[in-house]
Amino acid sequence: MHRRGGGAEAIAKKKLAEAKYKERGTVLAEDQIAQMSKQLETFKTNLEEFASKHKQEIRKNSQFRVQFQEMCATIGVDPLASGKGFWSEMLGVGDFYYELGVQIIEVCLALKHRNGGLITLDELHHRVLKGRGKFAQDVSQDDLVRAIKKLKAMGNGFGMIPVGGSYLVQSVPAELNMDHTVVLQLAEKKGYVTVSEIRDSLKWERERASHVLDHLLKEGLAWLDSQAAGEPQYWLPALFSELLSRDVTPEEANQMTP
């Protein structure tokens, strides 16, 4: 009986120790959370002071702006999340990306009759910089990508298609699936593609290749050169820099289609 009592006492002591250990662990966890919260608040305060001190640099210099956005990301703050609020009011970054988005739309609309609504990120960057003038705020391709993501979130047809280590910017609500994306990537080097090239490279049936190309023609994203030697060539004006560098009228464009 004594042994059983001793065993029960040992179990009770063990449970008491476990409860105290658990309680101590909870206290430690709460202390750690409080300490982390304090550190986070200190970092946020320092970040606000940094933003206030370097306001002009953040607004005007793209590298400074990216660095600041990365700093904000460490504490879960998105300075671009709203056109209002502390960060936007302090830095004017909301206005900056809003104005940049308007410029992107203007450039894409001006070139839509030539490229059907697709433009390389490089070309878009060049034209945005040209339109802003040499005394305007610096704009990087990263800035363009951020602004385009904001436009995409508004559901107005904007999107980005990865091509050759960069992007094609889509500014029209055309339905492009993975087949269309792969064909655009295939045409990236020469600016055009043929049915035979698609079949040889992608091992597709002729019907699949023709269906994709016909859709690109229908959406105005491709032009057909039916007089090309060998077989018809499907040109992607967004990828044909020489075409974009000269003045091509809609009438000239129509002459390249059957």
- Domain boundaries along the sequence of the chain: 44-173, 174-257
Mean pLDDT by 10 residues, the chain (258 residues): 56 64 58 61 66 65 66 60 50 69 87 86 91 78 88 78 87 84 90 94 94 92 90 89 48 46
Beta bridge partners of 168: 120, 161
The highest-level CATH class for domain 174-257 is mainly alpha
Q: Which residue has the tokens 């302090």?
A: 90
Q: How many CA atoms lie within 13 A of 242 on its CB side?
A: 4
pLDDT of residue 199: 95
By three-state DSSP, how is residue 225 classified? strand
Name 64's Cβ contacts closer than 8 Å, sequence gap at least 6.
54, 57, 58
**CATH for the stretch 44-173:** 1.10.10.10
Is 174-257 in the same CATH topology as 44-173?
yes
pLDDT of residue 23: 61
Tell me the C-alpha distance between 142 and 67, whole Å.
12
Q: The whole model's pTM is what? A: 0.58
pLDDT of residue 248: 47
